[in-house]
Chain A
Amino acid sequence: MPSVTLFTEAFAGLAVAVATGAGAAELPRVVLPHPLNDRPEPDIRAALRERVAAIVEGLTA
């Protein structure tokens, strides 16, 4: 199944470790700014809009 994993900058090392441990080291990854969980929703949507192309590329490559 096409998949992309999204995470914030602070968790980049963790994302790589988890993907590698799961045998999916090449899993497409898209990095978001950190922190994100306490940002207003418009800011979160804006951060994602900037990365839509990368997400689509990861899902379709």
Chain B
Amino acid sequence: MTVELTSTVADLPDDVEVVSAWLHERGHTDGLPVVPPTRERVLRMLAGTTRDPAFSLGPVPPTNGAATVEKLAVNAVMAGCRPEYLPVLLTAFELVLEPGFQLAGMQPTTNPLTPMLIVNGPVRARIGLNSSTGVMGPGWQANATIGRAVRLALINLGGARPGEVDKCTQGFVGKFSLCVGENEEDSPWAPLHVERGFAAEQDVVTVVGVNAAINIHDSSDDWKDVVKTFCGSLPSLGTPNVVDPHATPVLALNPLHAQILRDGGFDKAGLKQHLVESTTLPADALSNRRAHLRRGEGAEHYLVNGRIPIVNDPASLMLVVTGGMGGGHSCFLPAGHYGQARSAEITP
């Protein structure tokens, strides 16, 4: 079958330096070199999906470029993806375009906010997507390039060029790429996608808007120590979710911490309940400005039992088990003001 491509073709040599410079001058990169998206490479990328290259997943705010399968494949090539990664990218991008995710608010915000991709199911092993040691760091092609492809597409299709439309005050490195697998194999609990209504054998990607991660370290094997450290680490006056009662912050537990907490008698729901109830702030804790912002989300939601919780509904605190067993490091990724998490089965 002949695949028709509609993208404009520039007359350039297939040379990383030349093509990267040409694209960078036009605001089409994240600042790093890119793989030249030649027709041949885009066609090879499209072999990773059964979808029509012309099909559009929707307009990408705020400039409303069409997220066609072809355009996403172009960005996947530039990011360094392999064709077998493309279904994860396509499904994740469908989710960030859902109205409830509020991408239109995320793209231009001054808040250091980015979509985090969490992948569950057998697809992790099939494509080599890391869910263990160093999961949020360098060294893992699937993690690094799928997340990077999302960012490139947000820039190139949604116009979110840093400093121009993307008004993020400082940014953070997660805006280059943030894609993790859940370490289902070492987790003591049901995985995230099962908690969100999918079957264990399904391949699922979840997207959630997060800020920079705050490392939480405690190498104790006593669950009471670990809980104490978590409770001291989650409440922070300056994090965005403190002024948005309905946000979805993520607590990314390493499997060792998760097992210690399970041994302490916690299931996921119980741990969420305990952490949210034990980390509330006094009613007068916020600055006048931030109190004004929180009241703006609905004065009736300002306090819960006379206190300010990190989220009003414990179910809104997302728990994911990810990373290796090497040490007592977990992290908390506060939520920005915008959007709710979304999950979907990964389809070709």
A36 within 8 A of B: no
| Assembled-state Cα–Cα distance A17/B164 (Å) | 9
| Assembled-state Cα–Cα distance A11/B164 (Å) | 8
| Inter-chain contacts of A17 with B (CB < 8 A) | 62-63, 159, 164-165
Output the least CB separation between B114 and chain A (Å). Answer: 17
Contact at A10–B167, with CB atoms within 8 Å?
yes
Q: Which of B61, B164, B167, B289 has a CB less than 8 Å from the CB of A21?
A: B61
B108 within 8 A of A: yes
Output the least CB separation between B160 and chain A (Å). Answer: 9
The residue in B61, B164, B165 that gathers the most chain A C-beta atoms within 10 A of its C-beta is B165
Q: Is the interface of A mostly helix, strand, loop or mixed?
A: helix
| Assembled-state Cα–Cα distance A8/B96 (Å) | 28
| Inter-chain contacts of A11 with B (CB < 8 A) | 108, 167
Contact at A18–B167, with CB atoms within 8 Å?
no
| Inter-chain contacts of A18 with B (CB < 8 A) | 61-63, 108
Output the least CB separation between A6 and chain B (Å). Answer: 16
Residue total for B at the interface (Cβ-Cβ under 8 A): 12
Output the least CB separation between B125 and chain A (Å). Answer: 40
A13 within 8 A of B: yes
Please name the residue on chain B nearest to A11 by beta carbon.
B167
The residue in B61, B62, B167, B289 that gathers the most chain A C-beta atoms within 10 A of its C-beta is B62
A46 within 8 A of B: no
| Inter-chain contacts of A13 with B (CB < 8 A) | 164-165
Q: Which of A10, A21, A38 has a CB less than 8 Å from the CB of B63?
A: A21
**A16-60: contact bitstring with B at CB < 8 Å (1 yes, 0 no)?**
011011100000000000000010000000000000000000000
Contact A20 to B165, CB < 8 A, known contacts A14-B108, A38-B289: no
| Assembled-state Cα–Cα distance A22/B63 (Å) | 7
B229 within 8 A of A: no
Please name the residue on chain A nearest to B163 by beta carbon.
A13
| Assembled-state Cα–Cα distance A13/B160 (Å) | 11
Contact A14 to B64, CB < 8 A, known contacts A21-B159, A38-B289: no
| Assembled-state Cα–Cα distance A20/B165 (Å) | 12
Contact at A21–B108, with CB atoms within 8 Å?
no
Contact A14 to B167, CB < 8 A, known contacts A20-B63, A21-B62: yes
Output the least CB separation between A44 and chain B (Å). Answer: 14
| Inter-chain contacts of B61 with A (CB < 8 A) | 18, 21
**B215-233: contact bitstring with A at CB < 8 Å (1 yes, 0 no)?**
0000000000000000000
**B281-316: contact bitstring with A at CB < 8 Å (1 yes, 0 no)?**
000000001000000000000000000000000000
Please name the residue on chain A nearest to B164 by beta carbon.
A13
| Assembled-state Cα–Cα distance A38/B64 (Å) | 31
**B51-85: contact bitstring with A at CB < 8 Å (1 yes, 0 no)?**
00000000101111100000000000000000000
A-B contact pairs, 20 of them (CB 8 A): A10-B167, A11-B108, A11-B167, A13-B165, A14-B62, A14-B164, A14-B165, A14-B167, A17-B63, A17-B164, A17-B165, A18-B61, A18-B108, A20-B63, A21-B59, A21-B61, A21-B62, A21-B63, A21-B64, A22-B64
Sorted from nearest, which 6 A-B pairs have the closest CB atoms?
A: A21-B63, A21-B64, A18-B62, A13-B164, A17-B165, A14-B108
The interface of chain B, by Cβ under 8 A from chain A, is 59, 61-65, 108, 159, 164-165, 167, 289
Q: A17-B159, A21-B59 are in contact. List 16 more A-B contacts (CB 8 A).
A: A10-B167, A11-B108, A11-B167, A13-B164, A14-B165, A17-B62, A18-B61, A18-B62, A18-B63, A18-B108, A21-B61, A21-B63, A21-B64, A21-B65, A21-B159, A22-B64
